[in-house]
A and B are shown apart, each in its own frame.
Chain A
C-alpha cells in the first residue's frame, strides 16, 4: 500500500506544521527554549480579548479643503502682485470655490492669464461691479479636489502614526477606510482618555502678535479693528483646570508649526515643565527677524485657537528656538511635545466610533470562551465514542487535530483571534463532526447492504466526499461575504469559520480515511468494523 504510506506522510507533515505554529500560543511555550526555535509568535488576540481601544476617526475634509483653498487664494494674490495686479483678499465659498475681486478692470487679461498659468483654478463666473471692479468666482477641478483629499488623508494617517509611535503603544494598527475615515486600534492600552486626546488634537501651532492697544471691552462686544481677532488666553489653576481671559491678536500668523523641527520637554529653574521648540533653518531666520522687529511687544503662542502664553519679546532671539510655557503638568507637557513633534493634522478629526475594552473583561472572556469550548468539546468527544464506538474514537482524534490545525492556521496567517472567533471555533467543533457523521452514516448503509468492512469504508468515503464539499462551499461563501463586509471581530469570525471548514474537510476526509485504512490493512475481508 504505497499510496497509504504517502498519504500518511503528507498528513503527518501537515499535522507537524500545524503543531509548530500552534504551540507558541500555549501559555509558557512562547518564552521557553522550544518557543524560540518554532516559527511564528502564536495567535494574536483581538482587542476584545486583551483589552484596548478601537477608534474610527473621521477627517473633516471640508475644513481641509477650505484651508487648502485659502492657501491657494493667498498664492494667487501673491502671484498677481508680482505682475502688479492688485486684488482684494480672496474669500473661500462653499462648494470648493473662492471669490476674488480685481480692483482695476483694465488688468482683466493679465489677471486671467495669471490664474491660468500659475494656479489650478478655473474661472467659473466673472461679474463687473461698479467702479471698474470685477468679481470673480474661481473653482478647482474635481481631479484636483480628490488629489487634495488623498494628500490630506495620507498626511493625517502619517501624523497619527507618528504621535502613536511616540506615545509608545505596542503593535498599533492604523489604516485608511472608505469615506475619509481612519481606523486606529491600540491593543492593551490602559488610559483611553489620554490616547484619544493625543490622537484627536489638531495641534495647529501659530505665532501671532498681540494687539495690546485694542480695547478689550469693545472687542468682546464684537467691535474689532480690521485684521484683528478676539482670542482667549489660558491660565492654568493649581487644581489643573484652566481659566480664560480675553486677548486681541493680529489675525495673520507670523510663524506656524510647519517650521518646527523638534519639540522637547524641559524644566525651568522652579522645576516647572515647559515645551522647548526648535525651528528649522528657515523658521529660525523668520523668528530671529521677527523678534528683532518686535522688541517689547507681546507675541502669542496659539495652539488650536487657544493662546497658551503671550510673553513679551525682550530682545532679538537668535539660535532658532522658542518655548511654550503654561504651567503644564509633566504629562501635559510631554503630550504637547509629542503632538508638536509629530506635526499638525491637516484637518480636524472627529471620533466617529470608539470601543474600549478593559483588560479584565478580556481575560474573563478568554476564560469563559476556553471553558465553554472545553466542556462542549468533551461532551461531543464522549458522545461520538458512545454512538460510533471505535469509529467514534477516530472521529475524536481528527476533531482534536482539527482544533489544533485551526489554531496553527490562525497563527500562521497572522489572523487575530477575537471573541466571535472563539465562537467560530466552538461552532466548528460542533460542525466538524458533520463530515464524519455523513461518512459514517454512509458506511453504515453500505454495511447494511452487506458489503465488507473495507468495501463499505471505500464506498462511504467515495459517496460522502462530494456531498461534504457541496455542503461546505455554501458555508465558505457565507464566510467570505462576512469577511468582505465585516469589521474587526466579525472578520475574525469569518476567518476562523473558513479555516475550520478547510481543516475539518482535511481531517475528516483525508486523515480519518488513513486511520481507517491503517486499521483495516492487515485484517481479513470479513472483519467487523465498530461503527
Chain B
C-alpha cells in the first residue's frame, strides 16, 4: 500500500466542530458583504460595465504611474492604469469608461502618446471595447446562468438522491412561478437572483429536500465568500470570473455530492443502529482522504496556472484557487452539518409511513 495522508481509523468529530465552522463562515461572508456594501456593489470589468481597455507590453521596467503620466494628455474619461500579470512582465492595462470616442481613435491616440512620452518601445497587445448596452446584457446573462445552474442542480440532487423527482419538479415549477411573478415587478436582475436563491432554499426546506438544501446552501456559501474576497481584494468581475464561479459551483457540488453519497450509503446500511450525527462523522472521515487528494492535485495544477499562466488568465486562476479551497471546506464543514441539522428526509419519510 502506498502513502496515506489520512489514517484509515481517523475519527474527527466534524459535527461537533460545526459551531466553530459556522462562526468562521459567518465572519467570512459578513466581511465580503460588508466590503460589497462599502464599495457599492461588485466592481465590474468592462465586460459588464462597458468601456475600453488597452493592454500594452513595454520593453523596459516602468511603473503604472509613469504609464499613466504618459497617456494623460489623451484626456480619456475615467482613465485607470494598472499593472497586470506578474512582476517583470511590464504589462499594463489602460482603461477608460468612455463610449463616445471610437476604439480606433483611442488606439491611435494612445499609440502616439506612448511613443512621444515613454522613451521605450511597446506593443499594443489587446484592445477591447464593450458598449454599455452590451455590457448590461452580458451582466444579466451571467446572472441568469448562475441562477439556472443552481436551480437545475437542486432539482437533480433532489431527484437523484432522494428519488423525489415529483417534489423536485414542484420546486422547479414553484420557483419558476415566483421568479416570473417577481420579474413582472420590474426588479433588477441581481435582486431577482438573490430572491430566487432564497426561495430555492425556502422551498428545499419546506419540501424537506434536505440533501438539496445542504448542497445549495453550501453552494451559495461558496459563491458569496469568493465574490466577497474578490471585492476585498479589489478585483474586477468579468466574463472569465463568472466562468470561474460556475466551475467552482460544479466543483463544490462534486465534492458535496461525494460526501452525501457516502452518508446515504451509510444511512441505508446502518439505519437505526447509529445516530445521524455519527453517521455523518463516519462518512466525512471515510471520504476525507479522497477529498484532500483531489483538492490537493487540483489546487496544485491551478497554482501552476496562477503562477505561470500569463496575465490574461491570472484572475481566473485566482478565483479558482479561492473557490476550490472554499468549496472543499464547505463540503466538510457546511453542507454536512446543515444536513445534520435537518436530518435526511428519507428517514423521516419512513418514520411517517410506519
The verdict on B286 contacting chain A, using a C-beta distance below 8 Å, is yes
> In the complex the two chains form, is A427's CB within 8 Å of B104's CB?
no
**CB within 8 A of B250: which of A438, A467, A474?**
A474
The verdict on B178 contacting chain A, using a C-beta distance below 8 Å, is no
**CB within 8 A of A354: which of B3, B128, B152, B304?**
B128
Q: Which A residues from 427 to 486 make CB contacts under 8 A with B? A: 427, 429-431, 433-434, 437-438, 441, 444-445, 447-448, 466-467, 470-475, 477-479, 481-482, 484-486
Residues on the B chain within 8 Å of A431, using CB? 251, 254, 294, 298
Residues on the B chain within 8 Å of A487, using CB? 138, 239
> In the complex the two chains form, is A445's CB within 8 Å of B145's CB?
no
Distance, CA A372 to CA B293, complexed state (A): 20
Residues on the B chain within 8 Å of A192, using CB? 104, 107, 127
**CB within 8 A of B305: which of A372, A444, A474, A493?**
A372
Distance, CA A531 to CA B309, complexed state (A): 33
> Do A437 and B2 form a contact, CB below 8 Å, given A371-B308, A420-B243, A487-B239?
no
Distance, CA A369 to CA B304, complexed state (A): 10
**CB within 8 A of A423: which of B55, B141, B309?**
B309
The verdict on B249 contacting chain A, using a C-beta distance below 8 Å, is yes
The verdict on B247 contacting chain A, using a C-beta distance below 8 Å, is yes
Nearest-neighbor residue (CB-CB) of A434 within chain B: B294
> In the complex the two chains form, is B293's CB within 8 Å of A387's CB?
yes
Shortest beta-carbon distance, B171 to chain A, in Å? 15
> Do A420 and B297 form a contact, CB below 8 Å, given A356-B126, A368-B309, A481-B246?
no
> Do A478 and B249 form a contact, CB below 8 Å, given A193-B107, A371-B308?
yes
Shortest beta-carbon distance, A271 to chain B, in Å? 29
> In the complex the two chains form, is B301's CB within 8 Å of A354's CB?
no
**CB within 8 A of A474: which of B253, B287, B296?**
B253
Shortest beta-carbon distance, B202 to chain A, in Å? 21
Residues on the B chain within 8 Å of A478, using CB? 149, 153, 246-247, 249-250, 253
> In the complex the two chains form, is A485's CB within 8 Å of B142's CB?
yes
> In the complex the two chains form, is A438's CB within 8 Å of B312's CB?
no
Shortest beta-carbon distance, A427 to chain B, in Å? 7
Distance, CA A358 to CA B275, complexed state (A): 62
Q: Which B residues from 1 to 47 make CB contacts under 8 A with A? A: 1-3, 8
Distance, CA A345 to CA B144, complexed state (A): 34
Residues on the A chain within 8 Å of B138, using CB? 487
Q: Give the bracket for the number of chain B residues in contact with chain A.
A: 35 or more
**CB within 8 A of A369: which of B261, B286, B313?**
B313
The verdict on B123 contacting chain A, using a C-beta distance below 8 Å, is yes
User: Chain B 125-143 against A: per-residue CB contact (8 Å), 1 yes, 0 no?
Assistant: 1111111011001100110
Residues on the B chain within 8 Å of A371, using CB? 308
Task: Report the count of interface residues on A (CB-CB < 8 A).
Answer: 79
Residues on the B chain within 8 Å of A56, using CB? 131, 134
Distance, CA A437 to CA B293, complexed state (A): 7
Distance, CA A463 to CA B144, complexed state (A): 36
> Do A420 and B240 form a contact, CB below 8 Å, given A392-B2, A430-B302, A467-B258?
yes
> Do A369 and B310 form a contact, CB below 8 Å, given A426-B302, A485-B141?
yes
> In the complex the two chains form, is A426's CB within 8 Å of B304's CB?
yes
The verdict on A527 contacting chain B, using a C-beta distance below 8 Å, is no
> In the complex the two chains form, is A353's CB within 8 Å of B129's CB?
yes
> In the complex the two chains form, is B144's CB within 8 Å of A485's CB?
yes
> In the complex the two chains form, is B254's CB within 8 Å of A369's CB?
no
Residues on the B chain within 8 Å of A377, using CB? 301
Nearest-neighbor residue (CB-CB) of B304 within chain A: A376
> In the complex the two chains form, is A419's CB within 8 Å of B2's CB?
no
User: Chain A 334-367 against B: per-residue CB contact (8 Å), 1 yes, 0 no?
Assistant: 0000000000000000111111111011001100
The verdict on A313 contacting chain B, using a C-beta distance below 8 Å, is no
Distance, CA A284 to CA B155, complexed state (A): 67
**CB within 8 A of A351: which of B103, B250, B304?**
B103
Residues on the A chain within 8 Å of B130, using CB? 352-353
Residues on the A chain within 8 Å of B308, using CB? 368, 371-372, 375
**Among B123, B134, B144, residue most surrounded by chain A Cβ atoms (within 10 Å):** B134
> Do A470 and B160 form a contact, CB below 8 Å, given A192-B104, A372-B304, A531-B1?
yes
The verdict on B290 contacting chain A, using a C-beta distance below 8 Å, is yes
**Among B141, B293, B297, B313, residue most surrounded by chain A Cβ atoms (within 10 Å):** B297
Nearest-neighbor residue (CB-CB) of A443 within chain B: B1
Distance, CA A189 to CA B249, complexed state (A): 36
Residues on the B chain within 8 Å of A350, using CB? 131
The verdict on B203 contacting chain A, using a C-beta distance below 8 Å, is no
Nearest-neighbor residue (CB-CB) of A497 within chain B: B247
Distance, CA A58 to CA B131, complexed state (A): 10
Residues on the A chain within 8 Å of B301, using CB? 376-377, 379-380, 426-427, 429-430
The verdict on A16 contacting chain B, using a C-beta distance below 8 Å, is no
Residues on the B chain within 8 Å of A420, using CB? 240, 243, 313, 316
User: Chain B 47-82 against A: per-residue CB contact (8 Å), 1 yes, 0 no?
Assistant: 000000001010000000000000000000000000
Shortest beta-carbon distance, B249 to chain A, in Å? 5
User: Chain B 244-263 against A: per-residue CB contact (8 Å), 1 yes, 0 no?
Assistant: 00110111011101100110
User: Chain A 312-341 against B: per-residue CB contact (8 Å), 1 yes, 0 no?
Assistant: 000000000000000000000000000000
The verdict on A490 contacting chain B, using a C-beta distance below 8 Å, is yes
The verdict on A413 contacting chain B, using a C-beta distance below 8 Å, is no
The verdict on A291 contacting chain B, using a C-beta distance below 8 Å, is no
Q: Which B residues from 305 to 322 make CB contacts under 8 A with A? A: 305, 307-310, 312-313, 316-317, 320
The verdict on A524 contacting chain B, using a C-beta distance below 8 Å, is no
Residues on the A chain within 8 Å of B141, using CB? 485
Residues on the A chain within 8 Å of B207, using CB? none
The verdict on A414 contacting chain B, using a C-beta distance below 8 Å, is no
The verdict on A386 contacting chain B, using a C-beta distance below 8 Å, is yes
Distance, CA A444 to CA B8, complexed state (A): 9
> In the complex the two chains form, is A477's CB within 8 Å of B149's CB?
yes
> In the complex the two chains form, is B152's CB within 8 Å of A477's CB?
yes
Shortest beta-carbon distance, B329 to chain A, in Å? 17
**CB within 8 A of A482: which of B145, B261, B294?**
B145
Q: Which B residues from 94 to 124 make CB contacts under 8 A with A? A: 102-104, 107, 123-124
Shortest beta-carbon distance, B95 to chain A, in Å? 14
Distance, CA A422 to CA B316, complexed state (A): 12
The verdict on B242 contacting chain A, using a C-beta distance below 8 Å, is yes
Distance, CA A418 to CA B275, complexed state (A): 50
The verdict on A391 contacting chain B, using a C-beta distance below 8 Å, is yes
Nearest-neighbor residue (CB-CB) of B249 within chain A: A478
> In the complex the two chains form, is B297's CB within 8 Å of A358's CB?
no
Distance, CA A438 to CA B259, complexed state (A): 11
> Do A490 and B134 form a contact, CB below 8 Å, given A372-B308, A419-B313?
no
Shortest beta-carbon distance, B18 to chain A, in Å? 23
Residues on the A chain within 8 Å of B316, using CB? 420, 423
User: Chain B 167-210 against A: per-residue CB contact (8 Å), 1 yes, 0 no?
Assistant: 00000000000000000000000000000000000000000000
Nearest-neighbor residue (CB-CB) of B129 within chain A: A354
Q: Which A residues from 405 to 427 make CB contacts under 8 A with B? A: 419-420, 422-423, 426-427
> In the complex the two chains form, is A467's CB within 8 Å of B261's CB?
yes
> In the complex the two chains form, is B126's CB within 8 Å of A444's CB?
no
> In the complex the two chains form, is B309's CB within 8 Å of A475's CB?
no
> In the complex the two chains form, is B239's CB within 8 Å of A489's CB?
yes
The verdict on A66 contacting chain B, using a C-beta distance below 8 Å, is no
The verdict on B299 contacting chain A, using a C-beta distance below 8 Å, is yes
The verdict on B156 contacting chain A, using a C-beta distance below 8 Å, is yes
Interchain Cβ contacts under 8 Å between A and B, 8 examples: A355-B126, A419-B313, A426-B302, A426-B309, A430-B299, A430-B301, A433-B297, A481-B246
Closest A-B pairs by Cβ, 6 of them? A430-B298, A368-B310, A475-B250, A376-B301, A376-B304, A478-B250
Q: 17 additional contacts, CB 8 Å, given A376-B302, A433-B294, A477-B149?
A: A356-B127, A368-B308, A376-B305, A387-B2, A389-B1, A419-B313, A422-B313, A426-B309, A427-B247, A431-B298, A441-B289, A445-B286, A474-B156, A477-B153, A478-B249, A481-B145, A486-B239
